[in-house]
Amino acid sequence: MHKTLPQVAAMLLIAGWAVVAEAKNIDLSTVPDRDTVQLTIYNSEDITLVRETRKVSFKPGANPLQFSWANTLIDPTSVELKFLTDPDKLVVLDTTFPHDKPQMLYWNVQSDIDGEATIEITYFTSGISWAADYLCISDADETEMSIKSFVRVTNNSGEEYEDAQVRLVVGQINLVEKIAQLAQVPMQQIANLERSSRERLKHRVLYEALDAPDSPMDDAAGAGEGPGGGRPKQIIKEGLSEYFIYTIEGTETIPNGWSKRMRSFAAEEVPFKIQYRYRVPEYGDRLVRMYLLKNDEDSDLGTTPLPDGTVRVFRQNGRDGLSFLVAQHIKYVPIGDKIELNLGVDPEVIFELVKLRCWRDNIWMHVYGASVFRRVDDGRVEIDVRSTVEGWDDHTVYAQRIRNYTDKPIDVEVRRAYGGHIVFRSALDVTNHDYQTAQYTVTVARGEKAALLYEILQHQGRNHKQDNVTLEEATIKP
């Protein structure tokens, strides 16, 4: 059947309307674009709070407003609608979930205005994550370093987010405790709540925690790094009890299926020190070289905790180049806490333990019976003593030899653990790290050797005096 030109035009208009409506997730008399969108990403729960605003034209009376989440990870139970302008003249009468369109809802809005108003739609979605990484470059003398921090945001939510303001949650929110308070049940009974009830309480806790006051989004719209950009992106810090929220300055477009790397902060001339450590439980049976610094003001850091992330460390080699030292994952670093970077074994420092001497003494016996009898024929008296070895002391003398072939003095910390009842004897300045671990530190000058002597006295067996039978108490038989 042939169609007239007006019919074709009408069909194209309807088809175009449907595409635009689905792409924008909203449908009214005119299809509005997003005005602003904000993502607050909480990695620990794989959940992101999305807050977006749009300008919508209303007419007096009932106005249908459509929201859809087809092919996305949006949680439909978390969707909320607010009116930022004329809230006293706009009311949501009801919310409808059409049976023939399972991934869509309609708000029926009663309006007393004839004109434009700003609405805010908030919801939770999954599939958006972030990861931090750090670039550390030490100077050639290894006394200070520069640190640059970056954040990579990955969007696998199924939704496109254009010109989005990005906020990152660092730390943990005590969801279980706060849900228990809202539900007025003990924490161990939360698992017994219905899933829908538990999710609603979870959403309520996260709304209160993540929907924190922020700088105006209009003020945050700014140029980023790179061509056409202005100053580097900075971080706005908001301290909130157990966690922090980082707000990346400016806006970013993060398409679905894409990742975007953004600069968070930079610190120059951060001081650090070098220490060599021997700690078997932490680093294995080897002496490792450490870079030690702090997340504090003296390090040009310390204004916020540092999130989990991968640290890559380089050193200037003095020839306009860099030498790669290590890549290491660090855990969440609170303000004032230490940052410890393990660079591995230094081939210019030889570390070996040599056993010099060992012996055993102070042997004690358990005498549990004796008999004495006289031989008549030759007049001799023989005593038969029945006993077992109950304990003794083992002595071992060691030499901890350290040879420093580097061009500077080195500080060495040694921790050695010994089982059983031991006594650590040495002229070294020894302290107890715990009841079975001896710790000492020493400085070895450049090009020098150190032979650190110590003795381990270990009490073996047992010696309960009340259980022993002395010879005087033994039974004498004629």
Q: Whose structure tokens read 């107890």?
A: 432
Residues 6+ apart with CB under 8 A from 37: 50, 51, 52, 53, 161, 162, 163, 164, 165
Average pLDDT over residues 222-246: 51
**Same domain, residue pair 269 and 338:** yes
Average pLDDT of span 280-309:
90
For every residue of 6-20, DSSP letters joined together read HHHHHHHHHHHHHHH
- Given a cut of 50, whether residue 397 has pLDDT beyond it is yes
Q: What's the CATH code of the domain at 28? A: 2.60.40
Confidence of residue 304 (pLDDT cuts 50, 70, 90): confident
In a domain, 276, yes or no: yes
Residue 167 counted as domain residue: no
Q: Is residue 250 part of a domain?
A: no
Number of H helices, E strands in the chain: 5, 27
Same-domain check for residues 153 and 271: yes
Q: Which two tokens stand for residue 22?
A: 């689905």
Q: Are 268 and 292 within one domain?
A: yes
Task: Give me the mean pLDDT over the 263-280 stretch.
Answer: 93
152 sits in which H/E element: strand 144-155
Using the predicted structure, report yes or no on whether residue 37 has a pLDDT greater than 80.
yes
CA gyration radius, the chain: 37
The two structure tokens encoding residue 85: 């302008």
Residue 10 within a domain: no
Beta bridge partners of 41: 48, 168
What per-residue confidence (pLDDT) applies to 373?
Answer: 57
Q: Vertex 238, ends 236 and 241: CA angle to 5°?
A: 160
Buried b (16+ CB within 10 A) or exposed e, 242-258: ebbbbbbbbbbebeeee
Q: What would the mean pLDDT of 45-62 be, rounded to a whole number? A: 93
Among candidate residues 395, 385, 246, the one with its CA nearest the CA of residue 307: 246
On the question of pLDDT at 61 being above 60, the answer is: yes
Interacting residues of 125 by C-beta distance below 8 A, sequence separation 6+: 47, 48, 50, 72, 73, 74, 75, 157, 159
- Please count the other Cβ atoms lying within 10 Å of the Cβ belonging to residue 270: 19
What is the torsion angle, in degrees rounded to the nearest 10, for the CA atoms of residue 244, residue 247, residue 253 and residue 257?
-10
Question: 423: which 2 tokens?
Answer: 């006594």
Work out the burial of residue 74: count CB atoms within 10 Å of its CB; fewer than 13 is exposed, 13-18 middle, 19 or more buried. buried
pLDDT above 70 for 234:
no
Tell whether the model's pLDDT for residue 9 goes beyond 70.
no
- Residue 143 and residue 141: Cα distance in Å, rounded? 6
Residue with tokens 């033994």: 474
- The residue with greater pLDDT, 172 or 75, is 75
Domain-embedded: residue 11: no
User: Residue 253: inside a domain, yes or no?
Assistant: no
With beta carbons less than 8 A apart as the criterion, state whether 160 and 256 touch.
Answer: yes
What token pair was written down for 98?
A: 């059409």
Q: What is the DSSP string of 176-205?
A: HHHHHHHHTS-GGGGGGS-HHHHHHHHHHH
* 273 and 307 co-located in one domain: yes
Lowest mean pLDDT among 58-72, 258-272, 346-360, 452-466: 452-466
Q: Are residues 89 and 120 in the same domain?
A: yes
273 and 151 in a single domain? The answer is yes
206 within a domain of the structure (yes/no): no
The winner for highest mean pLDDT among 21-30, 120-129, 247-256, 456-465 is 120-129
Residues 6 or more apart whose CB falls under 8 angstroms from that of 140 comprise 315, 316, 317, 318
**Which residue, 346, 372, 407, sits at the end of a domain?**
346
Largest CA distance in the chain: 145
CA count, 13 A, side-chain hemisphere, 72:
26
Same domain, 387 and 321: no
The domain of 25 spans 20-37+47-125
Domain boundary among 102, 125, 148: 125
The CA-based angle 353-355-359, given to 5 degrees, is 150
In Å, how far from its chain's centre is CA 187? 24
- Cβ burial, residue 45 (10 Å; 0-12/13-18/19+): middle
Q: Are residues 281 and 138 in the same domain?
A: yes
Tokens (6 digits) for 121: 């739609």
Q: Which residues pair with 273 in a beta bridge?
A: 292
Q: In the prediction, which pLDDT does 184 show?
A: 85
Q: Do 372 and 462 share a structural domain? A: yes
What does the pLDDT average to over 241-258? 85
Exposed/middle/buried for 177, CB within 10 Å: 0-12, 13-18, 19+?
A: exposed
Report which of 85, 92, 279, 249 is spatially closest to residue 167, judged by C-alpha positions. Answer: 249
State the burial class of residue 332 (Cβ atoms within 10 Å of its Cβ: 0-12, 13-18, 19+): middle
Instruction: Examine the domain organization and report whether 148 and 280 are in the same domain.
Output: yes
| 409-451 pLDDT per residue, tens | 999 999 999 887 888 999 998 998 988 899 999 999 999 999 9
Helical (H) or strand (E) element with 260:
strand 258-271
How far apart are alpha carbons 50 and 211 in whole angstroms? Answer: 9
Do 31 and 101 sit in the same domain of this protein? yes
The answer to whether residue 30 sits within a structural domain is yes
Stronger pLDDT, 53 or 464, i.e. the higher one: 53
Residues 433, 325, single domain; the answer is no
Instruction: Tell me which of 346, 365, 386 is where a domain ends.
Output: 346
Q: Is 340 exposed, middle or buried (0-12, 13-18, 19+ CB in 10 A)?
A: middle
Percent of the chain with pLDDT over 70: 80
Judged against a pLDDT cut of 50, whether residue 24 lies above it is answered with no
Task: Count the domains in the chain.
Answer: 3
Question: What pLDDT is stored for residue 218 in this prediction?
Answer: 35
CA–CA separation, 89 and 92 (whole Å): 10
Burial 432-442 (b: 16+ CB within 10 A, else e): eeeeebbbbbb
The pLDDT value given to residue 11: 40
Q: Provide the 3-class DSSP secondary structure of residue 54.
A: strand
Among 92-96, 162-166, 223-227, 250-254, the least confident range: 223-227
Question: Sorting pLDDT into bands at 50, 70 and 90, what band is 3?
Answer: very low
Q: How many angstroms separate the CA atoms of 8 and 1, rounded?
A: 12
* CA gap 236, 330 in Å, rounded: 22
Collapsing DSSP to helix, strand or coil, 45 comes out as helix
